[in-house]
Structure formats: C-alpha cells, structure tokens
Amino acid sequence: MFVAATFLAGCDKEEPDPIPPIPTTASRTVLVYMAADNNLGSGGYDTDDIAEMRAGVDAGGLGQNGRLLVYHSPYRRDPALVEIRPGGKVDTIERFSRGIPAGTRQRLSYIIETTQKTAPAHSYGLVLWGHGTGWIEDGITDPARMAERDGTSFSYGPENGVKMNISTLADILSKGPRFDYIYFDCCYMSSIETAYELRTVTDIIVGSPTELITSGMPYDRNIEQLIDGSETALIGAARNTFDYYDSKTGMQRTCTMSVIRTDALGELAQATADIYNAATAAMPAGYTPQRLSDYDVSHCYYYDFRDYIEALSGNSALTEAFGTAFDNAVPYSAATPYLWSSVSLDNNNGLSTYILATPDHALHGNYMNLQWYADVASKLYQH
C-alpha cells in the first residue's frame, strides 16, 4: 500500500497544470489582426507565427490576467476570430465568410467591436500583421491606381486587391476602444507621415521604416511584452525582434526597428515646420539622401527623416531644437549594417519620410491627402 500510494502521488505531480479561468475583465487584451489571404498566407508565415504565439502563451506570456485574440484571414480559406489560451488551447469565437477582405473598414471595425465585447479589458494593444507600404494613399477600391503601380503598393493588408489607407485606419481607430499601442508587423510603417496620421488614436507605435523579412516578429519572444504594453516592454519587444535578425548572417541579417511616442509628435512637427519655413531649397545641394528601400533614389518613397531634415537646416538653433524633439519622439531605434546586404544603413534614425523635391511630388501616392502634408510638409513651398 505504501508503494502504491507513492506511485499515485508521483502520477499526480505529472498532471498538467490546470488551465486558468478566463478573466471577467483582463488587464490587457491584445488583438493580432492577420491579413494573410495573400502570398504571406500561401507561404505559411501566418501559421508559423500562430505557432509562435501559442508557444509564447504556454511559456506564461499572458501573466495572471492577459488575453490574446487573433483575427486570422488565411490563404483561400474562411477567416476566424480565435483566442489563444494556455495549454495549447485555441477557442474559436466567430467564423466568417471569405467575401469581406481584412483591408476593409467593415471587417476591421467589426473585429475591434467584437474583441471589446468578447474580451473586455482595462487596456488594449493592437498588432497589425501583413503587408504594408506606410503612408501611400492608394485607396481601397481603385483598380486604375493599382494597375498604375503594378499592384505593388499595399498601404496595409492587401487581400484580393483590397487594401486600407492609413487615413482610413486612423478614422476606424478613432471610434474606440483606444489601443495603447500599435505594433506594425509589416514593412515600411515607421514613417513620420504614418505616425502623425495615427498620433491621436494611440500612444506608442512600434514598427520598421524599411522592409521586414517575411517571417516578421518572433512572437514567442514577445507575448509577455505585448501583454505588458508599457513603453519599456514595447522597447523590449522591438529589441527582441531586432536582435533576432541581427544575429543572422548574409541577406537574413536585415532589420530596422523603432518605437515612437505619439504625444511627442506635435513638438516634432513644429520643429520640422520651422526648418521648412526657413529652407531655401527642398533638396540641399550635393546631398545624397539615406535610402530606406532598395529602390534607386528616383523611385524611392522612403528616406531617413532625421538625416534629411538636418541636412536641409541651415540654422544651428533650429537643428538643435529638431534633434531634441526627435529624441523625445523616438526613444528606441536600431538597424543592421545593411538592408538586404545592399543598402548601407549608416544614417538610419528610426523614422522615414518622403522627400518632396518638387511641388508635383505631393501628387505621388496622394501625399497631399495626409495630415503631415497639410500641417508640415506643404510649408516647403509656401514661401
């Protein structure tokens, strides 16, 4: 009997820990919105990342009171909103037909509303997963403009030719609930134009000013940081992503990451406008801008913002004020030595911009639709 009791006690110790109950009100609910009905989904990057999320949750990433919801729009299959819970458990909250792409106002608005109802929380975080081209305002249903750019401009989340402008995203998010942060697991989303468009709807933006490798964020390393959601934790998440790719070799060693405080963007906008008002030319003589894409200068839409503005400024006091404002707005940035082993990133500072070398450049990608153009960039040609 003693041996049997000992054996049974040993068995009890081997039983898995019970799955914690779902909190009535979470400390933070994180929504990962995955627009994967495209080449990312056909390549299996979405399922790889969901497996990483499950590993991060199983490692205790939710803490005592966090929740992780995922809207997954897979390749050529019906989407679903699910919750990832400890113990490898995935609860399906709602299934949807494939007819409404992730890049529509209708679908994103509904998923946000359902997230708030299903997983109420004291605070919320948003991860936008998919393709991105930052500030470019290509519209949602404009086939002519898509054809004009050979279908290569995404803004955010193209599925079946449908994509979302940043101005549309800002309007959707203004309806609530407020997300304390937006982590863009997409290319090109850390631009001053994008951040400024979103400055009133979130506190912190995490993303990349360049292209990202298609495998994106290593989610298993970052669930705890995303649930925490503090600036320190989000800097940790950005650093984890950067370190993951910086440790690689060859073309796989390519990554830029930055963290942006939106409450500091008003001061940065004013400091930039002061330099634009004083500028005598839109492009400094002999200046070669720091490209943040592998397109040549004549076809590039992303240049380093700080490098350009400080080259443009001819006034040391204005330059110093700009530098102070920039440092306050960008508490973290990092870059590998090269983008795709071909473009040196010596002058990367964590934010990109589009250079309006001529007034006509404001027509490119509907740049003049942006709040950054109205409030700041248009001042280049108003004197």
Tokens for 369, please give them: 């639709």
Asked if residue 151 has pLDDT above 60, the reply is no
Considering the domain architecture, whether residues 136 and 233 belong to the same structural domain is answered as: yes
38 belongs to a structural domain: yes
Residues 72 and 82 sit within 8 Å (Cβ to Cβ): yes
Residues 241 and 325 occupy one common structural domain: no
Contact criterion met (CB below 8 Å) for 82 and 89? no
Q: Where are the alpha helices (DSSP H) in the chain?
A: 2-14, 39-42, 45-58, 105-118, 143-148, 166-173, 192-197, 223-228, 231-246, 265-278, 305-312, 316-329, 371-375
Say which amino acid occupies 289: P
Give the whole-angstrom CA distance, residue 57 versus residue 61: 5
Residue 122 shares a structural domain with residue 172: yes
- pLDDT given at position 154: 60
**pLDDT, position 21:** 74
Mean pLDDT of 159-182: 91
**pLDDT tens figures, 65-122:** 999 999 999 999 999 999 999 988 999 999 999 889 999 999 999 999 999 999 999 9
Are 46 and 40 in contact by the 8 Å Cβ rule? The answer is: yes
Query: Where a domain ends, among 230, 262, 294?
Result: 262
Q: Which domain holds residue 293?
A: 266-329+352-381
Could you tell me which of 324, 202, 199 has the C-alpha nearest to residue 266?
A: 199
Choose the weakest-confidence range: 137-151, 155-169, 289-303: 137-151
- Alpha-carbon distance 41 to 100, whole Å? 16
User: Of 216, 240, 262, at which residue does a domain stop?
Assistant: 262
Instruction: Please say if the pLDDT value at position 142 is more than 80.
Output: no
CA dist 109 and 211 (Å) reads: 27
- The pLDDT value recorded for residue 19 is 66
How many domains does the chain contain in total? 2
Rounded Cα gap, residues 345 and 329, in angstroms = 20
In the chain, pLDDT over 90 holds for what percent of residues? 80
Residue 89 confidence (pLDDT): 92
Distance between CA 193 and CA 191 in Å, rounded? 5
pLDDT digits (tens, 9 = 90+) for 59-70: 999 999 999 999
Q: What integer pLDDT is reported at residue 156 of this predicted model?
A: 86
For residue 3, being part of any structural domain is answered with no
Instruction: Answer with the residue of higher pLDDT: 240 or 153.
Output: 240
> What is d(CA 355, CA 297) in angstroms, rounded to the nearest whole number?
10
Tokens in use for 280? 């005598």
Q: Are residues 67 and 89 in the same domain?
A: yes
Question: Worst-scoring range by mean pLDDT, 221-225, 267-271, 279-283?
Answer: 279-283
- For residue 13, is pLDDT > 70? no
In this predicted structure, which of 19-23, 242-246, 315-319 has the lowest mean pLDDT?
19-23
Count of residues for the chain? 383
236 or 160, higher pLDDT: 236
